[in-house]
Chains A and B, each alone.
Chain A
Amino acid sequence: MPMEKSLKRPALLAGVLIALIALPAVADATGYAALTSLATRVLIYGIAAASLNFVLGYGGMVSFGHAAFFGIGGYVVGILYQHYSLGEPLFGFIPGTNQLLITIPVALVISGLMAALIGALSLRTGGVQFIMITLAFAQMLFFLFVSLKTYGGDDGLIIRRANELPGLNMRDKQTVYYVCLTVTVAFFFVLWRIVNSRFGNVIVGLRQSEKRMAAIGLPAYRYKLMAFVISGMGCGLAGALMANFLRYASPDMIHWTKSGELMVMVILGGVGTLFGPLLGAAVFIVLESILASWTENWQLGLGLILLFVVLYTQGGVQGLGTRLFGRRA
């Protein structure tokens, strides 16, 4: 198991963690202050991609609509903030809030519930139909938020100030970075526990052979649904963090190209590995910024790289990743 191997290198992990902790100071000292923002985005997208990878890589369920949960997480933060700042309760009885300790759990619960609903319906199909129905649900949510003029519609929802956390100044970008880093570490710890649990083994088993699992007497549908919900919650968490970081939530977070980007991150880093998606997110974000600083036609380069990775690394992105970057993951 790749993730066991990567955790058997605790020294390496500790090294990466120390580097991440030192990053803002280094960024300031060298004058690349933007590096902190870049790293924050990498961490947030890393959470989202790793969540997607849990169903996609471990469970073999190719969801093309995970941006839906990312967007829901973002909108939970945005909508609660709007009701807080206007002082009028949501639906007349739910008060808004700007406390991170409330918005994050709410984002987790709401995205989990939506994942339960979407997953319960989508998992009745498989293969191509599953890809398309998850895409369809995400598109539905996209158009729903586009049409909700109360919450900004097309233009999205501006969150004037990031959520507060007692004792911390969340207006400071470095503080936001450290909050995201803490959440990321906690998230990957939980994910590591899940992946290596009996539940995680069943999910991998389901990918390999659903029949075999059914023969052992395990209810495939319920296990897959649970995995889908966990994965949706992870994306919701990432969305909530992103809304706090950008101080903005918009339908773009749910757009199908966002779902595509999350899949790209997963495959860049290595499908079915614990830290692969985080690495993939880093590669994607860094690549995007480098290409964008060279030319405004950066998508051309990104498309070519993506095509190359898919076609010529023979599904062995994981292998290539291990050869090239594995030591750092």
Chain B
Amino acid sequence: MTLFLEQMLNGVQFGVMLFLLAAGLTLIFGIMGVINLAHGSIYMIGAYAGTWAAAETGSFWLGIPAALAAAAVTGAAIEFLVVRRLYQRDHLDQVLATFGLILIFNQTITILFGRQPLFVSMPEMLGGSVELLPGLVYPVYRLAIIAVGLLVALGLYLLINKTRIGMLVRAGSTNREMVRALGVDIRLLYTLVFGLGALLAGLAGFMAGPILAVQVGMGEQILITTFVVVVIGGVGSIRGAFFASLILGVVDTGLRAYLPGLLRQVMVGPEADALGAGISSMGIYLLMAIVLLIRPKGLFIRNS
């Protein structure tokens, strides 16, 4: 039972990481109509900048502003130089241009930092574990990630639902043309949304540093999962992204934790492990296919 709870917490932790990326991606999708494959690159850049700053200064906390700044600058540069030209284009051009960006960023990072993964140690304050329930010991750092993720979710909820900018964002994701027609500076709104998405991606990247290896290619791995989240939750819906992130995080972690064991009941050990790992990696895609077949627009989009 404690093992199960621990896995669920791991799932939630993975889920909030996905949410940090998916929130930006879904807004960019929903409002600007742009498929940004380079969102994963921003995540990677945040991770590298933060980890590098943390290693240079010796302070984990100084890594946070570095990661956020690098991600925001990269995001603004991408929006200004590339994405701005893609709003009116079809999806094919967007996919290809941002695919080009991935190649460029990956190679630049390889030139700057080499192929060896970087590691960052956790701050002492968050290094230990706490006993949440009798017998359930859980690392503080992962709890901190969950807390940050939930705080960001709350902040986004307030921003989207209670502020004027949020109102424009909501309006923009429902009817872009109408917002423009009403005289809103849509370019500024676009840049703000893109910058916000980049910030969150950078934050996620840096927080992932101590638990995952910081390496080239980390962005694409999580990017595709994030797309699955966005599509399941419904393009443009923050609420959808939040719930879909948590569902996917828990499903993915649960499958990885339990499927090989179940398969081992009917197969030989190593083969069961390999097949189990394979099927658990397929799990989220299968889930997405099922959701899309039942609700082609995603779970949290009202049929209009």
Contacts and interface: CB of A to CB of B under 8 A. Distances in A.
Interface stretch (A71-79, A126-134, A237-245): A126-134
B96 A304 contact: no
B140 interface: no
Interface in A90-107: none
A315 B278 contact: no
Contacts of A271: 92
B293 A121 contact: yes
Contacts of A133: 231, 288-289, 292
Given A139-B224, A306-B103, A263 B282 contact: no
Most buried by B among A62, A140, A146, A256: A140
B92 A307 contact: no
B165 to A, nearest CB: 24
Contacts of A307: 82, 97, 100-101, 104
Contacts of A140: 282, 285-286, 289
Contact of A147 (B110, B224, B278, B293): B278
Contact of B96 (A136, A137, A256, A306): A306
B262 interface: no
Interface string B234-271: 01000000000000000000000000000000000011
Contacts of A64: 95
B282 to A, nearest CB: 5
B235 A136 contact: no
B119 interface: no
Interface string B77-103: 000001001100111110111011111
Interface string B200-212: 0000000000000
Given A121-B289, A136-B288, A304 B271 contact: no
B89 A132 contact: no
B103 A303 contact: yes
Contacts of A150: 271
B45 to A, nearest CB: 15
Given A128-B35, A129-B297, A303-B103, A147 B227 contact: no
B274 interface: yes
Given A121-B289, A263-B95, A135 B100 contact: no
B227 A132 contact: yes
Given A136-B289, A140-B282, A311 B97 contact: yes
A306 B99 contact: yes
B133 interface: no
B282 A144 contact: yes
Given A129-B296, A133-B289, A136-B288, A304 B235 contact: no
A260 B103 CA distance: 11
A306 B98 CA distance: 9
A127 B85 CA distance: 19
Given A129-B292, A132-B228, A310-B96, A303 B279 contact: no
A303 B102 contact: yes
Nearest to B225: A139
Interface stretch (A17-25, A42-50, A212-220, A294-302): A294-302
B175 interface: no
B190 interface: no
Most buried by A among B85, B106, B108, B292: B292
Contacts of B220: 256-257
Nearest to A136: B285
B219 to A, nearest CB: 13
A303 B278 contact: no
B2 to A, nearest CB: 29
B138 interface: no
A153 interface: yes
A216 B298 CA distance: 31
B156 interface: no
A135 B227 contact: yes
Contact of B278 (A62, A121, A148, A263): A148
Interface string A249-263: 000000011001001
Contacts of A299: 103-104, 106-107
Most buried by A among B278, B281, B296: B278
Contacts of A306: 96-97, 99-100, 103
Contacts of B270: 149
A311 B85 contact: yes
A136 B228 contact: yes
Given A125-B292, A303-B101, A264 B96 contact: yes
Contacts of A311: 82, 85-86, 97
A124 interface: yes
Contacts of A121: 289, 293
Q: Which 4 A-B pairs have the closest CB atoms?
A: A147-B278, A303-B103, A306-B100, A303-B104
Given A121-B289, A147-B278, A267-B93, 4 more contacts: A129-B231, A147-B279, A256-B220, A257-B220
Interface of B: 29, 35, 82, 85-86, 89-93, 95-97, 99-104, 106-108, 110-111, 220, 224, 227-228, 231, 235, 270-271, 274-279, 281-282, 285-286, 288-289, 292-293, 296-298
28 contacts: A64-B95, A125-B296, A129-B235, A129-B297, A129-B298, A131-B35, A132-B288, A133-B288, A136-B289, A137-B289, A139-B282, A144-B278, A144-B282, A147-B277, A147-B279, A148-B274, A148-B275, A153-B274, A257-B220, A264-B96, A267-B92, A297-B107, A299-B106, A302-B100, A306-B103, A307-B104, A311-B97, A315-B89
